Amino acid sequence: MRRWRWTILTLGCVGMLAGATWAQEAPFFSGPQIGESVAPFQMQLAFSEDKVDPVAAANGRPLLLIFVHQLTRPSVATVRALAKFAELRKKDLQAAVVFLDDDTTALRARLHRARHALPAYPAIGMSVDGAEGPGAYGLNRNATLTIIFAKSNRVVANFALKDTSVAVDVPKIAAAVCKEIGGDPPALKTLLPRAAMRAGDRAGRLPDLLRRVIRKDAKPEDVDAAAKEVEAYVAKNRAAARRLGEILNRIVAADKLDQYGSEHARTYLKKWYRQYGSGAKQEADSDRRKRRGGNGSTPR
């Protein structure tokens, strides 16, 4: 039974990775783009009956808008880190967290249940326009988070995230903001309590981590950061290390390694195949054959 369970899990992981690879080939947009204006909008505060307009309240000052399409552990972890960053820089930066859902009554109930995990700062609210968000913003329902940084009511940076990782996304966003308001981005460990970091690790399952490595639009530094997460995760989780080896064995056996991610990402996949998959045994066998005058091959 255990063998069948692992086989099903492995096939599922391969399928999800394949889907993620092709899905990331097309650009993904959500919200106003760089240079476009941010329009005023109303949000209902989650924990009171008041409504506010974060754009009007900022009055042209630097503003970080965090739109939450999907309320998940990874999205909450990213929101908490960005909220802590906004709190540290609140003299220079306005911010608001806006949750999106068609059923605001149910959403409010969920937010009240999750209140212990949500930041006390900045203002947390719900869009009065439902799951689509403010009509002028053109938000993408398929996003997990849409993060917009504006200055003088114009977009300076836009981050449309289909999935999110604290370690990958938060430093990029903080760096983009600090480039405009000055100062250095804070170390990630200062933005999340230790318990939240552990929770983020538990939420970051292997397929999700691998998807970030093989995103077609990922820059080399993003691939490096995501790969570092994978290696840290499997280093302390033997079951995950075995799963990683099984996933890569199937990809290599199907001769589809070149379809996954960028060339830079594939250097990690090949490395992990040699480290955790059949490549390790093949290299040992190849070395023995070479000593005997034969030859063998492993993806390099």
- Tokens representing 109 are 């109930």
pLDDT band for position 7 (50/70/90)? very low
Residue 11 confidence (pLDDT): 45
- Tokens representing 130 are 């439902």
- Going from the C-alpha of 253 to that of each of 56, 138, 154, the distances in angstroms are 57, 43, 50
Residue 299 confidence (pLDDT): 65
- Amino acid identity, position 83: A
Average pLDDT over residues 249-271: 89
Residue 282 confidence (pLDDT): 53
In degrees, rounded to 5, the angle at the alpha carbon of residue 144 between the alpha carbons of residues 138 and 150 is 50
What tens digit of pLDDT does each residue of 135-177 get? Answer: 999 999 999 999 999 999 999 999 999 988 888 899 999 999 9
Average pLDDT over residues 228-232: 89
Average pLDDT over residues 90-114: 92
Residue 294 has pLDDT above 90, yes or no: no
Q: For 276-296, give the DSSP string.
A: HSHHHHHHHHHHHHHHHT---
Is the domain covering 28-182 a CATH 3.90.780.10 domain?
Answer: no
SS (H, E, C) 96-162: EEEECCCCHHHHHHHHHHCHHHCCCCCEEEEECCHHHCCHHHCCCCCCCEEEEEEECCEEEEEEEEC
How big is the chain, counted in residues? 300
pLDDT band for position 9 (50/70/90)? very low
**The model's pTM:** 0.63
Pick from 1-15, 23-37, 129-143 the range whose average pLDDT is largest.
129-143
- The CATH 3.40.30.10 domain(s) of the chain lie at 28-182
Average pLDDT over residues 46-62: 95
Residue 53 confidence (pLDDT): 97
